[in-house]
Amino acid sequence: MKIAVITAALLLLGMANPCWAESDKELLTALLHDFMAGASANDVAAHERFWAEDLVYTSSSGLRFGKADIVEGMKAEAGSGEPETVYSAEDVQIRLYGDTAVVAFRLMGSPRGGGGQLMQYFNTGTFVKRDQQWRAVAWQATIIPDPEPVP
């Protein structure tokens, strides 16, 4: 009897786990898209919410910095007018590992109002769930160069 109860409990836990996974994937997807909207508006609060205090960010130019540097830069830009670029995330892939997640996607930077050149980056972020909140603790951005014209 005890074995049957333990087996049933383990089965229920196993079946519940994918539900938690879907919920966390949905939360991370929403967090990413909300962040893209905030970044497109130079919203400092969006950066405060998205990045962990102990963030390690490696930019596409090879510079490494943390959350304080990002927020300081955003505050310096605040009030300087409407941002020139609208950001979006495409081809989002999320891998969950308990309270850790890897989010990979194609970041698109479109000039506001059309014209100009579309920017594309592969981004990979590592998120950790702390106090029931997902935060990015590591980030890597890699520019996707324009394809070379075929002669």
pTM metric for this prediction: 0.80
Scan for tokens 């850790």, then name that residue.
100
Q: What is the tens place of the pLDDT at every residue in 54-94?
A: 999 999 999 999 999 999 998 887 766 667 889 999 999 99
From first to last of its 151 residues, the chain has per-residue pLDDT tens of 445 434 333 333 444 444 555 799 999 999 999 999 999 988 999 999 999 999 999 999 999 999 999 999 988 877 666 678 899 999 999 999 999 999 999 999 998 877 778 899 999 999 999 999 999 999 999 999 877 766 7
- Domains, the chain, in order of start with CATH, read 2-143 (3.10.450.50)
Q: What is the 3-state secondary structure (H, E, C) of 58-121?
A: ECCCCCEECHHHHHHHHHHHCCCCCCCEEEEEEEEEEEEECCEEEEEEEEEEEECCCCCCCEEE
